[in-house]
Structure 1
Amino acid sequence: MDAKAGARRKNEAGDTPNPEGGERQPTRIQAINREIILDAALEVFAVHGFRGSTVDQIAARADMSKPNLLYYYRRKQDIYRAVLEATLGDWLAPLAAIDPAGDPIEELRRYISLKLAMSAEKPAASRLFANEILAGAPVIGDFLETRLRALVQEKAGVIRRWVGEGRLAPVDPVHLIFTIWAVTQHYADFDVQVKAVLGSQVDAAGFREQTAQAVLSIVLNGIRPRR
């Protein structure tokens, strides 16, 4: 393949060749294509799991040829890790944004509301993460024991200080975070169970808002300071 043909192939895939021979420079097309691939892979992995999914399924879901997909990610394992890392990045951003200088109830209200919204808007991401954890976290175990642990310990310290200042009721901060994770992700991970119990209510207008109000009332009333 001559240099011009190579440059054309790279541009078709969405990359701009570096004239000095270094790493290719990402382009807008490349970023869009990667997002399309990860969105498609999320849906496929959430339904079939890692072992049951194939690159062909992901390519079909992304409406992309398999060779083009493999230009961006060489192996199914690479796609899977990228999807999980993107999911964790989205989920941990609201936790990281809890402001130590803010009002405790309002900070936790915002965090819970965002987690509920994310579970409702991206249930496949929640289910994929749950499947990874149930499998023993073979891909993201190192992430959980390092970055996740560090962030939870940091925010637990903030909650512990709020409790010490009398701004929250006495509560174990780590188990409070676990509780928020459990209740907010329940509506995605156990969607079939929720629908079996509530029936047509799930599809009614305002169900998400009613759910958010119920969860916020239960959690926040439990941690308000006792006067």
Structure 2
Amino acid sequence: MTEPLKSPAPSRIQRRNRARILEAALDVFAQHGYRGATLDQIAESAGLSKPNILYYFAGKEEIHVTLLHQLMDNWLEPLRQLDPDGSPLEELLTYVRRKLEMSQAFPRESRLFANEILQGAPRIAPLLEAELKPLFDGAAALIDRWAGAGAIAQVDGRHLIFSIWATTQHYADFEAQIAKLMGPDAPREGAAEFLNGLYTRALAPDQS
């Protein structure tokens, strides 16, 4: 029986051009959202022709979905790293710090994800169900066990995770507003210290 022919591995130039397109698209989608972005804008930002873009991707949607899949894989890693055997308060404070660091290091990716969710998650809904929900449910259950054992304050794990997402990713999703209100460097200087203190006080177990 003849084995099916394998597709040749992409060349160095093809890999470089594909990465170039995705990097340019990330800028365009983060600035304009999915609906406002066009292939012409992506091509201009990448310094490639529109036909060249379509050689690597079927269209705007495929580029967008590719970026979302890459984002989700990296974005969920801090939640995966919650250690059930670690110190509960330290594990959660470390999670807050990692999420803040990611929002500050990858603001475009955060805005890409936020824009997709605001539109009802039409392109990422299957990924949310398959990857995020089981991880979210597991992390929330772990937090609930820690709270039930008195290792942290009595909190609802689900709402705590939502709160951490809101307070950390705000620094990426509303970066322009924060810069206008506080100056371009101020948020980075004080955010980590503030959030560490906030969640330390909120999660410290009842000593009474």
Common topology (TM > 0.5): yes
Q: Tell me the SS of whatever aligns to 1:154.
A: helix
Aligned match of 2:45: 61
The reply to whether residue 95 of structure 1 matches residue 75 of structure 2 is no
- Identity score, percent: 48
Q: Tell me the SS of whatever aligns to 1:25.
A: coil
Mapped partners of 1:181, 1:74: distance in 2: 33
8 Å Cα contact 2:153/2:205 also seen in 1:
yes
Mapped partners of 2:113, 2:100: distance in 1: 15
- The partner residue of 1:203 within 170, 185, 192 is 185
Mapped partners of 2:162, 2:47: distance in 1: 38
Query: 1:118-152: CA deviations, max 9, x gaps?
Result: 11122121112111111111111222233211110
Query: 1:51-103: CA deviations, max 9, x gaps?
Result: 22122221222223333332221211100111111112111111111111111
Task: Provide structure 1 residue ranges, at least 5 long, that are not aligned to the other structure.
Answer: 1-19
- Relative distance call for 1:151 and 1:210 in structure 2 (3 A) is same
Q: Tell me the SS of whatever aligns to 2:112.
A: helix
Stretch moving more, 176-185 or 113-122: 113-122
Mapped partners of 1:29, 1:96: distance in 2: 34
The reply to whether residue 112 of structure 1 matches residue 92 of structure 2 is no
Aligned match of 1:33: 17
**What TM-score does the superposition give when structure 1 sets the normalisation length?**
0.82
Letter of the aligned partner of 2:135 in structure 1?
L
Aligned match of 1:5: none
Quick check: which has more Rg, 1 or 2? 1
The reply to whether residue 51 of structure 1 matches residue 35 of structure 2 is yes
Aligned match of 1:173: 157
**What TM-score does the superposition give when structure 2 sets the normalisation length?**
0.89
Of structures 1 and 2, the one scoring higher in RCO (CA 8 A, sep 6+) is 2
Letter of the aligned partner of 2:164 in structure 1?
I
- Relative distance call for 1:221 and 1:26 in structure 2 (3 A) is farther
- The partner residue of 1:42 within 26, 33, 45 is 26
Q: CA deviation at 1:222?
A: 0.3
Residues matched between the structures, number: 204
- Relative distance call for 1:161 and 1:136 in structure 2 (3 A) is same
The reply to whether residue 194 of structure 1 matches residue 178 of structure 2 is yes
What RMSD, in angstroms, separates the aligned Cα atoms of the two structures? Answer: 1.9
Letter of the aligned partner of 1:62 in structure 2?
A
Task: Provide structure 2 residue ranges, at least 5 long, that are not aligned to the other structure.
Answer: none
Q: Tell me the SS of whatever aligns to 2:104.
A: helix
8 Å Cα contact 2:93/2:199 also seen in 1:
no
